[in-house]
């Protein structure tokens, strides 16, 4: 009885939440950027987001609002189309897709310094392998990379990104480049992480655009310990008192009375 009463009290006092939630961002940019912000040189132009114009020393980002406030994203599916131009010339510097801390202002082609990043690297800054290349970064460290032509000549090519506990999947241009279950060890999802597109130009230039962005998440709420209500506190106190009285009565029944005689 005492154990049962105390268990009821504990159940009233302590609770956790593991509910699942889904966030989403879908935009073809025909009527604004929705729950997102344009930063730096990024502008809404002709039904797409132009992250950088074809000019030197430019940097722009599309930063999407927190899709799951107070929750931790366990998996996501993202798709978008990517365009670089002009055709027939060397382009710089590239585009990134990040899931990590929001930038103070903008991200370039390297994306967030922590979190998950897919970078479409156009210009040789001494990295290996030599651009043009698609890289997967985890907390700033390259974990996968494949060289591929990234000058789309102004055409929009499809990209898909999937993340779950098994790793990261990336597909560019319907299988032209494909990564499957890339190891993301060291990345720990946390509340408040954001999806961000970034792009940069330097001494070289490129017009870099994204369109048709779709992101769907699966998230779990942070575990909490709720504060009991006054009614619940009353039940806890009553249960504790009953448990104490029950234990005291049981001890009295088991103890010999005052003045009781014993046989030798």
Q: What is the pTM of this model?
A: 0.80
- Give dist(CA 86, CA 88) in Å, integer: 7
Q: Which of 14, 32, 41, 5 is nearest to 197 (CA)?
A: 41
In this structure, are 155 and 119 located in the same domain?
yes
pLDDT in tens, 142-182: 999 999 999 999 999 999 999 999 999 999 999 999 999 99
Same domain, 146 and 244: no
Domain that holds residue 249: 2-14+225-254
Residues 117 and 239 in one domain: no
Token pair, residue 260, equals: 């009781």
Q: How far apart are CA 58 and CA 217, in angstroms?
A: 31
Q: Say how far apart CA 144 and CA 261 lie, in whole Å.
A: 86
CA distances from 219 to 22, 74, 87, 197, 254 (A): 6, 5, 41, 21, 55
Q: Are residues 155 and 115 in the same domain?
A: yes
Strand partners, 158: 81
What is the length of the chain?
264
Higher pLDDT, 75 or 221: 75
Percent of the chain residues topping a pLDDT of 90 = 75
Look at residue 261 and tell me if it is in a domain: no
Residue 263 included in any domain = no
Q: Is the dihedral of CA 175, 95, 211, 181 positive or negative?
A: positive
> Over the stretch 190-230, which tens digit does the pLDDT of each residue have?
999 999 999 999 999 999 999 999 999 999 987 655 656 77
CATH number at residue 194: 2.60.120.200
Tell whether 82 and 46 lie within a shared domain: yes
Residue the block writes with tokens 């996968």: 144
Angle, in degrees to the nearest 10, between helices 230-254 and 2-13? 160
Q: Is residue 211 part of a domain?
A: yes
In total, how many domains does the chain have?
2
Q: What is the pLDDT of residues 86-135, one digit of tens each?
A: 999 999 999 999 999 999 999 999 999 999 999 999 999 999 999 999 99
């Amino acid at each position: 009885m005492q154990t049962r009463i105390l268990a009821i009290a504990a159940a009233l006092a302590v609770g956790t939440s593991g509910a699942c939630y889904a966030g989403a961002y879908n935009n073809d940019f025909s009527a604004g950027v929705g729950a997102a912000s344009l930063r730096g040189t990024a502008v809404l132009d002709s039904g797409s987001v132009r992250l950088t114009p074809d000019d030197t020393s430019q940097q722009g980002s599309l930063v999407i609002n927190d899709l799951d406030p107070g929750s931790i994203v366990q998996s996501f599916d993202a798709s978008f189309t990517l365009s670089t131009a002009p055709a027939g010339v060397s382009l710089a510097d590239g585009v990134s897709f990040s899931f990590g801390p929001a930038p103070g202002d903008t991200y370039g082609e390297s994306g967030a310094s922590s979190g998950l990043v897919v970078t479409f690297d156009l210009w040789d800054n001494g990295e290996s392998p030599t651009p043009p290349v698609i890289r997967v970064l985890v907390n700033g460290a390259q974990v996968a990379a494949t060289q591929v032509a990234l000058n789309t000549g102004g055409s929009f090519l499809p990209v898909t990104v999937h993340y779950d506990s098994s790793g990261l999947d990336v597909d560019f241009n319907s299988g032209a480049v494909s990564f499957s279950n890339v190891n993301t060890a060291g990345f720990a999802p946390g509340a408040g992480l954001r999806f961000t597109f970034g792009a940069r130009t330097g001494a070289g230039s490129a017009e870099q655009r994204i369109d048709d962005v779709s992101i769907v998440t699966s998230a779990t709420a942070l575990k909490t310990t709720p504060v009991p209500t006054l009614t619940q506190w009353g039940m806890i106190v009553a249960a504790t008192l009953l448990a104490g009285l029950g234990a005291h009565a049981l001890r009295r029944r088991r103890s010999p009375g005052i003045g009781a005689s014993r046989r030798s």
